[in-house]
Amino acid sequence: MKPVCMVIGAGAGIGGHVAKRFAAEGYHVVLCRRSNATGLESLVNDIERDGGSANGYLLDASQDDAIETRIAQVEAEIGPIEVLLYNLGAQIGDRPLEQTSYKAFELGWRLATFGLFRAASAVCPQMASRGKGVILVTSATAAMRGNAGQHSHAAAMGGRRLLCQSLNAEYARQGIHVVHVLIDGAVDAPDTLGKMLGAEVFEQLRAKHGGDNDGLLLPEKIADTYFHVAQQHRSAWTHELDLRAHTDLAWWNH
């Protein structure tokens, strides 16, 4: 039986490339995303065409019990989840305080913090009973620094970071490696950053910083790092790391 890597938030950017990386290393990957069944099917087909194995499911993390039910189903029908990637974003864009509704603010928390709590509640007891497991959590600059217009995102990602610290404090000695990965820069991902900026602005960004400039974080290179930390020996675990392009200033230098 192949080890199982489950990706919650399996788009064409970080989530999809992490799935491909683990599949190439012999994992069976379970891909979950909120919408775009065609894109999900295409990603599964890409993995299978390259010799890997995968399942894809539509999963709306805002729905009650959706995360918990899917994790239980994977554990029962596919196999024990050895690696869980929680890759759901919670960015609603820059909004002044007076234009940030209660609903919009709460949505960021539900996706970034409460969703991770629900996933951990479902998978950590299973991993602990086996004495091993890895939980990879994609985070953002907002987890470290709040900016104007980022009330929802900063509060949600700050909560995500501290939740990761709490999970690590409770479960590391039970064999669960919790990793908080701070993505401190723009990612070359058309279906996330591209949608937020709009196609035209995104292509301008690519033209200026992408290509041979290596000024955008490449999802396939991010995936290499995710796989590396997931294989670390427990005597030298990384809990938190940050990734950015070589041309970017670190978050603390802004």
Q: Where are the domains of the chain?
A: 4-188+220-253
Closest CA to 179 of 116, 133, 120, 238: 238
| 182 confidence band (pLDDT: 50, 70, 90) | very high
Instruction: Characterize 147-182 residue by residue with b for buried, 16 or more Cβ atoms within 10 angstroms of its Cβ, and e for exposed.
Output: eebbbbbbbbbbbbbebbeebbeebeeeebbbbbbb
Tell me phi and psi for residue 210, to 5 degrees. Answer: -85, -160
Whether 197 shows a pLDDT value over 70: the answer reads: no
Structural class in CATH, domain 4-188+220-253: alpha beta
- What is the distance between the alpha carbons of residues 90 and 208, in angstroms, rounded to a whole number? 26
pLDDT tens for each residue of 31-88: 999 999 999 999 999 999 999 999 999 999 989 999 999 999 999 999 999 999 999 9
Alpha carbon distance 128, 122 (integer Å): 11
pLDDT of 193 > 70? The answer is no
216 phi/psi in degrees, rounded to 5: -120, 145
Q: What is the pLDDT of residue 195?
A: 67
What does the pLDDT look like over 200-235, one tens digit per residue? 776 787 878 888 888 999 999 999 999 999 999 999
Q: pLDDT tens digits for 21-31? A: 999 999 999 99
For residues 14 and 183, the answer to whether their CB atoms sit within 8 Å is: yes
**pLDDT for the residue numbered 231:** 98
**Sequential DSSP letters for 141-199:** GGGT---TT-HHHHHHHHHHHHHHHHHHHHHGGGTEEEEEEEE-S-B--TTTHHHHH-H
Quick: pLDDT tens for 96-127: 999 999 999 999 999 999 999 999 999 999 99
Amino acid 3: pLDDT: 96
d(CA 214, CA 223): 16
Q: What is the pLDDT of residue 207?
A: 79
